[in-house]
Amino acid sequence: MTSARILVVDDEPQIRRVMRTTLVARGYMVSDARSGEEALEKIREERFDLVLLDMNMPGIGGMETCRIIRSQSDIPIVILSIRNAEKDKVEALDAGADDYVTKPFSTPELLARIRAALRRAPLLTPGLPEVLDLGRTVINFAARRVTVDGKEVRLTPKELDLLRYLASSPDVPIPHAKLLQSVWGPDYGEEVEYLRVFVNQLRKKIEPEPSRPEYLLTEPWVGYRFRLPKKT
């Protein structure tokens, strides 16, 4: 049982009712919204731990709603959509979603995705320093704070969890499946597009030249590697 507060955003009343009944039965506190506009208003007025956001809605739509939420908040966002193409998933993740669930989905699948989105890695990882100084970029894992050239850069919780996991094994290639299962949870392993999007976002935020990364390196056909800069 959990006391996490979830906002369900869907224009279909029946879906909202079913989701509310299902989630409340599992101990979640649930509120709902019929549109992106209503969701944004509720998020301004109340605190939520997770947003379940339907992609296809009238008004500003799920994608734009996701972008606006992410520009203002680090709240986990799980997109629900009938679209199953990789480009749709990538677009949603690029917009700031933490996860993407294709309709129709089973209750156990949805609950597993909710647990994964709410899951937070431990603040500190054994062997990883609280503060990692890369020169222009300083990462304070204990404070969950990143600065580049002295200016704070906001990372989402999932971005920071992924960065911390990579940095905990510097200069060691980490396979895609291991990264996914360690950061998202044991039910993941095939969602390589998640890693592509999140690593690209991290590169834009911490790399001096994102197109020529110094720290977050791709290991072709394997995964990713965090390279520590050589001390001079």
Residues 101-105: contacts with CB under 8 Å, at least 24 apart: 105/80
Which pLDDT does position 127 carry in this prediction?
64
| Amino acid at position 231, single letter | K
Q: Which CATH superfamily is domain 5-118 in?
A: Response regulator (3.40.50.2300)
pLDDT at 121: 59
Ranges of each domain in the chain: 5-118, 131-226
What is the reported pLDDT for 214?
Answer: 92
Q: Say what the pLDDT of residue 135 is.
A: 84
Residue 1: per-residue pLDDT: 45
Phi/psi region, residue 59 (left: phi>0; alpha: psi -120 to 50; beta: rest), is: left
Mean pLDDT, contiguous 10-residue spans, the chain (232 residues): 86 93 94 95 94 91 94 92 90 93 91 88 64 87 86 89 90 95 91 95 92 94 90 57
SS3 86: helix
| Strand pairing class (5-9; 174-175) | unpaired
Taking the model in full, what pTM does it have?
0.87
DSSP 92-116: HHHTT-SEEEESS--HHHHHHHHHH
Q: How far is 200 from 211, CA to CA, in rounded Å?
A: 9
Which one of 1.10.10.10, 3.40.50.880, 3.10.20.740, 3.40.605.10 gives the CATH number of domain 131-226?
1.10.10.10
- Omega prior to 122 cis, within 30 of 0: no
